[in-house]
Amino acid sequence: MDKQQQRSGNGCVIWTRVSTKYQEENGGSLDYQKSLCEEYAKSNALNIKGYYGGRHESAKTPGSMVKEMINCVKKDKGIRYIIVSEYDRFSRNSAQAISILNDLTACGVIVVAAKTGQDTRDKNVFLMASIALSLSQWDNTNRVDKFISGRRNCLLKGVWVEKAPLGYYKEGKSKNTVCRLNDIGMLIRQAFIWKLDGCANSDILDRLRTRGLELSKQTLHKVLTNPFYAGKVQHKLIDNQMVDGVHESAITYAQFLEVQEIMSGRTGKYKHKHDIPEGPLKRHVLCDCDGTPLTFYLKKKNGKEYGYYKCNQHGCHTNVSALTMHDKYASMLSGYDLPPVMKDVVEKVVRQLLQEGNKDVEDSQTLLKRHLSEVERQIREAKVKVATGQIDSEIFSVAIQELEERRGKILLELEKCKNNLSNSGSEVDEIVAICCKLSNLWQGADLETRVKLQNLLFPNGIFWNHEKRDYRTPEKNAVFDIIGKISDSYKMKTEAENPASVPLCGQGDSNPHALRHQILSLAWLPITTRPQS
């Protein structure tokens, strides 16, 4: 400040700024600052030569707007004053603001604080401005620390203080904030259920699109791997610690963990489009020696192709003909065939469970009807617009084609819902038939149905013992474990045996909710057989 340029005249510019976009759009600070500066200029007969700022810009470092003003003022020697409402409008960073004031003062520019009428010509005022800026920075830092501490405390108590994730809306403020599921959230819940049933991500995206929710594959992946939907809160402010949230969950945490297993490929349910049709047991069967999933390959011999399963672990010699493994698998499945004496009992249980499962179908039907109404409204509007000349025929043609395609998919899904609700009787017969002849179903089914049945029977895969040349089943689906026990009991029955004494569907140690889901999975299994050669 020792060596300053001298300027004359009454030219001035006005500088206004707020820190955030929200303040710019929802507050009156910019208008207040402008009117305050204009009033000062008018009362002191200053000629306003321009306005700068007027929008939101970070206060941490000089942005493009303040740099533009400084460059303009340095070039135009007729500008003697810069009017601001307060000195911290340049920057909340005291060192940065003082640097700007020093730079402008050295150019002979006088910076005026319109609120107090003080300017930088007086060294005492400059010193007081520096002190005020330092205090302002201290106050701002203190408020930020308190704000962050408050957010951290809320997060540790399970209260989500950030923007509501996809599928949620927020109620309340601060520690009383609660996130609840909206219509999109109900669709996301359904997406998790579809994933649990073994659906590929591409199929889930198609189903969501039909119901009016457009997601990218990246967004779907983020949703399916976000523990928030399982009622958990995780944030960097609490070092990514996971705590129980107070918000409404879309699924249980146990279901979320199962989805993660599926997506990691460890259960074999995560399907790949390029699977070779002749290798349905690929990744489903594990080597008993080291737990490595077996791979499948084709080998040509005498002009014909033969399939083999092998373990790729170094030093392991497991390499088995696909024909052998398929025959052994079918033979093993026959051990889970339901004895005829149990048919009536299972039929009653399945019928009851299907009736309970119809509620999910009815909810899906409601969402589809709502989306259908919206699409039909858009079709009507498009027809009105082309008729009144608001859009040309080419745009109408493209729009109507897409809308009609959406409408067709929705109608198809509604028809499926209608069939699911009306065909409960036939579904019961199909499920009981599946239980009676699992081996026949697996041998005659296409690849997709085979894989789904495998994952339903053995959700954690099955082991192949190279020495015994046979399968080992460490963990089975609870429903089929029961059926297997019934089948064994029936084969060794005596006069004293009573089928009613065998634990069934939820009795004993089994989880009734898990059994319900597993039995209902049979209803959703596509009974599609391979074409006969």
pLDDT digits (tens, 9 = 90+) for 30-65: 888 999 999 999 999 999 999 998 887 665 555 678
Query: What are the CA-CA distances from residue 226 to residues 189, 206, 242 (Å)?
Result: 12, 21, 11
| Of 482 and 343, the one with more pLDDT | 343
> Residue 33 CA to chain centroid, in angstroms?
43
**Rounded CA separation 513/172 (Å):** 34
When the pLDDT of each residue in the chain is averaged and rounded to a whole number, the result is 78
Q: Please, is 500 exposed, middle or buried when counting C-beta atoms within 10 Å of its C-beta (0-12, 13-18, 19+)?
A: exposed
CB-CB contact of 292 with 316 (8 Å): yes
Token representation of residue 505: 């569907």
Per-residue pLDDT, averaged over 271-282, amounts to: 62
Span 336-344, average pLDDT: 70
Lowest mean pLDDT among 180-189, 317-326, 409-418: 409-418
Least confident of 398-412, 446-460, 487-501: 487-501
pTM over 0.75: no
Higher pLDDT, 47 or 340: 47
For the chain, what is the largest distance between any 2 Cα atoms, rounded to a whole number of angstroms? 119
Mean pLDDT of 187-202: 88
Phi, psi of 194 (to 5 degrees): -60, -40
User: pLDDT for 135-148, tens place per residue?
Assistant: 776 776 666 666 67
**Lowest-pLDDT choice from 11-15, 170-174, 357-361:** 357-361
pLDDT of residue 489 exceeding 60, the answer is no
Query: Sheet of 295-301: strands edge to edge?
Result: 295-301, 304-310, 319-321
The tens digit of pLDDT for each residue in 306-338 reads 899 999 888 888 999 999 999 999 888 887 776
How far, in Å, CA of 302 to CA of 245, rounded?
64
Of 296-300, 344-348, 380-384, minimum mean pLDDT range: 344-348
Give the pLDDT of residue 93.
Answer: 66
Share of the chain above pLDDT 70, in %: 76
pLDDT, residue 83, reads 93
Beta strands at 79-84 and 11-18: parallel, antiparallel or unpaired: parallel
Q: Which residue has the higher pLDDT, 42 or 264?
A: 42
Residue 528, pLDDT score:
45
The confidence band for 410, taking pLDDT boundaries of 50, 70 and 90, is confident
Which has the closest alpha carbon to 179: 189, 165, 192, 193? 165
| Tens-place pLDDT, residues 502-521 | 444 333 344 444 444 554 45
- The per-residue pLDDT for 420 is 66
Assign 485 a pLDDT band (cuts: 50, 70, 90): low
Residue 173 has pLDDT above 70, yes or no: yes
